[in-house]
Amino acid sequence: MNLCFDCLDLVLKSQSEGNGDSAFGGFKFLWEGNYFDHEGDTSDHAELTLDSIEVVVNKCANILREKLASSLTDSSTTNVTAKGRAILVYMPNVVQLLVSVLAAARIGAVLTFVNAAVNSRAEDLSKILEMSCAELVITVDGFFMGEELHETKKVLDEAIDLLHANNSNRIHSVLIVRHVGSNPAIPPPSKSYNGRRPHYGLEVPFIDGRDHHWSNLMVEASEQSECEWMDSEDVIFNTIKRIPEGNNDWHFEQYTVSQIALLVRMLARTIRRNRIPSLEFNRKPSCDSQHSSATFENCSKDEVSVVWAVVEMEDLLFLATFFAVPLSRQTLLLSESPPMHPNPSRIFQIVEKHGVNQLLLAEQYIKLLIRNEQFENVWYQESDPTWSITTLQVVYTVSKLRTENDNYVQWLSRCAPTARIIHFSC
């Protein structure tokens, strides 16, 4: 069993043999950057076909294997496997996050993801590094969250120094993605914009022998990479969250391949079943906004939805979308920006720009939007709306309590009358 094999290799094989949906050849991974200008356009975005994703994932998998193998002190070891080795990814919602997660799954490594947007204290990160037993870290030089610059690599170096002050040197390799830093060969522009890449003047510390530039390694890496076959009870992901009542304490939980596979299959089935070929179908009386019904069997097999998960990055559901969306033959959208930067209209701008069809909204974001009067004013512009959300066909409310969810359904039904509101329990 290998989750990366299931959502990449098998899907591409099915496509090449003509067994997949005819529209699936257009699958793309879409990424929306942080910057937002006053004209309503973002200057930062990326898109990849599934074939391109496979290439960069294979390259990354080979890099991870090589770096983990080189950290072993026993030079006589042959046929070294990365299965069960610990990798930590410390970055925001960038393209390389998807690549890193899939690559780690491909080689059977145990991955711990730390959201750099909310974990910016070196002391906290050092504790997480210790608990995860990470041997290799993948990070970015820095990033903007709204207009706030996060110097990620500096924080990581401080955390590693704290870790190694009390433990033996365990972090043998750090892979650095140049995300917000400038190319030294290109002179700075005459005018700069806060929150927009690249940021000139960012100092990125680099330690020879331990640190490696992602782009340099990717150029040399092979495009072919074999999967590491996993047992159902092998650990594949670690999640870590701060305990609210604790004094600088963290809750650390491990998940096996079978647990993640079950979540991925359930999510993929839900996404695929809820594809709707047209808004006319969406308005039929038989479409009960509270339940996913059999009427979806009438959907065109060629319909491909753009799926956007606005959930906490620490949530297991967020990582599950990396596997579930391609497995369901749909298009995955990620956004680096906070959903309300620079104002509540940003979420609609992204929906319209990328033609989002299925939106997963976590409970904490729904509460935030309900409380924000400015958001309601933006959403309720019926006469001349700034942004069109007519492509939005399904909104999933991701919450644990169905009683509280009823209030979310009523509110979202008023805000997005063309969309079905479906509760996704997690």
Apex 421 CA angle, 404 and 377, nearest 5: 85
- Kindly tell me if the per-residue pLDDT of 416 is higher than 50: yes
Please state the separation of Cα 370 from the chain's center in Å: 25
Output the pTM of the full model. 0.89
Q: In the chain, which residues fall in CATH 3.40.50.980?
A: 260-425
Q: Which residue has the tokens 């305990």?
A: 243
Between strands 148-150 and 143-145, the pairing is antiparallel
pLDDT of residue 414: 79
pLDDT of residue 234: 98
Q: What mean pLDDT comes out for the span 316-329?
A: 94
Q: Does domain 260-425 have CATH number 3.40.50.720?
A: no
Distance CA 421, CA 426 (A): 16
Residues in the chain: 426
Side-chain-facing half-sphere of 107: CA atoms under 13 Å: 30
More confident residue, 278 or 419: 419
Q: Does domain 51-256 have CATH number 3.40.1010.10?
A: no
Q: Which residues on adjacent β-strands are paired with residue 398?
A: 362, 424
pLDDT of residue 20: 56
- Render pLDDT for 330-345 as a digit per residue (tens, 0 to 9): 999 999 988 878 877 7
Side-chain-facing half-sphere of 314: CA atoms under 13 Å: 15
DSSP string, 101-129: HHHHHHHT-EEEEEETTT---HHHHHHHH
pLDDT of residue 293: 32
More confident residue, 425 or 416: 416
Q: Check: CB of residue 128 under 8 Å from CB of residue 156.
A: no
Distance CA 170, CA 173 (A): 9
Cβ partners under 8 Å of residue 26, min gap 6: 49, 304
- Render pLDDT for 195-232 as a digit per residue (tens, 0 to 9): 889 999 899 999 999 999 999 999 999 999 999 999 99
Q: In this predicted structure, which of 34-43, 85-94, 408-417 has the lowest mean pLDDT? A: 34-43
